[in-house]
A and B are shown apart, each in its own frame.
Chain A
Amino acid sequence: MRIPTLLVAATTTCALIGATACRTSESTPEARGSVEAGLPAVVARNRLHGVLLGQPQPKPDFVLTTTEGTSFDFRRDTDGLLTLLFFGYTHCPDICPVHMSNIGRVLKGLPVEVTRKIRVVFVTTDPERDTPERLHGWLRGFHPDFIGLTGTPEAIQAAQVAAKLMPAVKEIVDSTAPANYFVAHAGQVLAFTSDGLSHIVYPFGIRQADWANDLPILVGGWPQ
């Protein structure tokens, strides 16, 4: 199931955050056969399909605006919850909707005891074209509980820097149609566990089966 792009992305994630001890988790037959309760932490961690970070990253501190116009304090409003954070844009046909659809479809199949402890936050990297209405409608197509955030270009850039990501940049690919620009952006979904840290990320190439495996483990907190 694990595909080469995941490995490539794992390497690049390491490069970005400057970690040298980054590794991809592996599932062992013994781990898969274990009972989840009382699992030794190392076994629980090895069951995860995301890409483990060598150095956990703190939850970024930023305040942006929801598609309903209310203020959203990322740290405060997701405190203690498993939080998935992704930066993208609604005109993206290939990467962003695949990530968001996969997460949305998996959440719809998980029990409410699990999903009520999860928040999914999508921050637009294209505030110029992603009006709150457009962003709201786009996200609702994937899951009604997804939180869409926008703000000034400066505030969105600062949020990405706080999340230790390279900020997104506008790219005009076709000079005859400058309005149809792209936005180069980070491809991975960051996961923050209840300890307020990201120990694991999900590069593009991650599949629904990976989310379905990892979210129920992560919702119980990072396996210490």
Chain B
Amino acid sequence: MASVRRWLFALLAGTGCAVGTTGGITVTEAYGFAPATASEAAVYLTLHNQGPGEDTLVRVSSPEAAGVMLHRSVTSGAMITMEHVDRLPLPVGEPVRMAPGALHLMLVDLAPVPQAGDSLSIILEFAQGASQTVRVPVIPYGDPPDPGGVPEVR
């Protein structure tokens, strides 16, 4: 079943049935966790650069947050530290996946504070000049959803 889902996901991602596509960049597997406080929330996306040229994610914002930062949680020894990522290179044909405990978007000072079942708008700007807005479903904090298991934005 899992492999069927993965195949289906690959098919959907490949045919553009995704959260958003602009230029050569397709966004899939987008979800955010319903924040426990108004001050921080985490959002995860997978970015596919289908070419023709290299591109870079250079800026992220949201009308529902005072700021959005791209961060990477890094396990170093037994410690987990945080790195700020200024620019995220998007090589052609290599999906860049965000995931809990790794690359993620941190939203700060949210208004209104989204609940599970709501959605958030994320605006992505790329070095090649394109920008796109994706609607991201908000789910309760916990395990990351299985590939293809991200709920539809209502």
The answer to whether A185 touches B37, judged by C-beta atoms less than 8 angstroms apart, is no
Is B149 interfacial (CB 8 A cutoff)?
no
- The count of residues in chain A whose C-beta lies closer than 8 Å to any C-beta of chain B is 41
Q: Whose C-beta in chain A lies nearest to the C-beta of B103?
A: A94
CA of A105 to CA of B78, assembled, Å: 25
Pick from A33-41, A54-62, A96-104 the stretch touching chain B: A96-104
Taking CB atoms and an 8 Å cut-off, the chain A residues in 124-145 that contact chain B are: 134, 137-138, 141-142
From known contacts A90-B37, A138-B36, infer whether A184 and B101 are also in contact, taking CB-CB under 8 Å: no
Is B77 interfacial (CB 8 A cutoff)?
yes
- Provide the B69-101 mask, 1 if CB < 8 A to any CB of A, else 0: 101010111111111100000000000000011
Pick from A70-78, A166-174, A215-223 the stretch touching chain B: A166-174
The answer to whether A16 touches B78, judged by C-beta atoms less than 8 angstroms apart, is yes
Pick from B12-20, B22-30, B50-58, B139-147 the stretch touching chain A: B139-147
The answer to whether A97 touches B33, judged by C-beta atoms less than 8 angstroms apart, is yes
Is A180 interfacial (CB 8 A cutoff)?
yes
Instruction: Find A173's partner among B36, B80, B82, B108 (CB 8 Å cutoff).
Output: B82
Contacts of A101 in B (CB 8 A): 33, 140-142
Taking CB atoms and an 8 Å cut-off, the chain A residues in 156-182 that contact chain B are: 165-166, 168, 171, 173-174, 180, 182
The answer to whether A16 touches B42, judged by C-beta atoms less than 8 angstroms apart, is no
Instruction: Find A134's partner among B37, B73, B141 (CB 8 Å cutoff).
Output: B37
Q: Whose C-beta in chain B lies nearest to the C-beta of A15?
A: B77
Contacts of B77 in A (CB 8 A): 12, 15-16, 166
CA of A112 to CA of B106, assembled, Å: 36
Instruction: Find A187's partner among B71, B75, B106 (CB 8 Å cutoff).
Output: B75
Interface centre among A8, A15, A94, A142 (most CB of B within 10 A): A94
Pick from A23-31, A113-121, A202-210 the stretch touching chain B: A202-210
For the complex of A and B, the 3 pairs showing the least CB-CB separation, nearest first, are: A101-B141, A16-B78, A184-B81
List 26 A-B pairs, Cβ < 8 Å.
A12-B78, A15-B78, A16-B78, A93-B35, A93-B40, A93-B106, A93-B107, A94-B71, A94-B106, A95-B80, A98-B141, A101-B33, A134-B37, A137-B37, A166-B77, A168-B79, A171-B81, A174-B84, A184-B76, A184-B79, A184-B80, A186-B80, A187-B78, A204-B75, A205-B101, A208-B143
> A95-B73, A182-B82, A205-B101 known; 12 other A-B pairs, CB under 8 Å?
A8-B75, A9-B78, A12-B75, A12-B78, A16-B77, A134-B37, A142-B141, A168-B79, A186-B78, A187-B80, A204-B100, A208-B143
